[in-house]
Structure 1
């Protein structure tokens, strides 16, 4: 898995419980994908092994270099209200 320096030095330390296989799963099996204004790509997926929580993975514009990864409570809440795909 390719990562940015930001991910290696900050994001991975801030969210140590996120497993690399969950990040890879999210990139390949997203329920939603969105290109941000800065060209980075956001991917969201429910991680069953994490009690169905929603993982948001931000990649660079290449779609594979991971810049950030975190559990997105707001997306999960919108899913529960039927406002986001499951």
Structure 2
């Protein structure tokens, strides 16, 4: 499966979908928190399609965030509060 086109930093590598669809709908997402979760996730899960789920606690939102990376391990494709995740 071909991966989506990606945009370079700042703040980090991201898909066009993340930049133009996700962030405008979720203005409460903090790019600095996303960068921190990418650097030091509390959990990391590889999906069957090769994409990578990272989990980390957001002090700003007071919940866990799920950050989904493309299979390259660096490009952010999605990020959202994950009410189902518990550490």
TM-score bin (small chain): 0.7 to 0.9
Runs of 5+ in structure 2 lacking a partner?
A: 1-11
Tell me which residue corresponds to 1:73.
Answer: 83
Distance of 1:6 and 1:50 partners within structure 2: 22
Higher strand share goes to which structure?
2
What is the TM-score normalised by the length of structure 1?
0.81
Distance of 1:54 and 1:35 partners within structure 2: 18
> Relative contact order, CA 8 A, sep 6+: which one is greater?
1
Supply the RMSD in Å over aligned alpha carbons.
Answer: 1.1
The structure 1 segments of at least 4 consecutive aligned residues displaced by more than 6 Å after TM superposition are none
Tell me which residue corresponds to 1:25.
Answer: 36
For the residue of structure 2 that corresponds to 1:39, the secondary structure is: coil
Tell me which residue corresponds to 2:73.
Answer: 63
Higher helix share goes to which structure?
1
Tell me which residue corresponds to 1:82.
Answer: none
What is the TM-score normalised by the length of structure 2?
0.80
The size of the alignment, in residue pairs, is 76
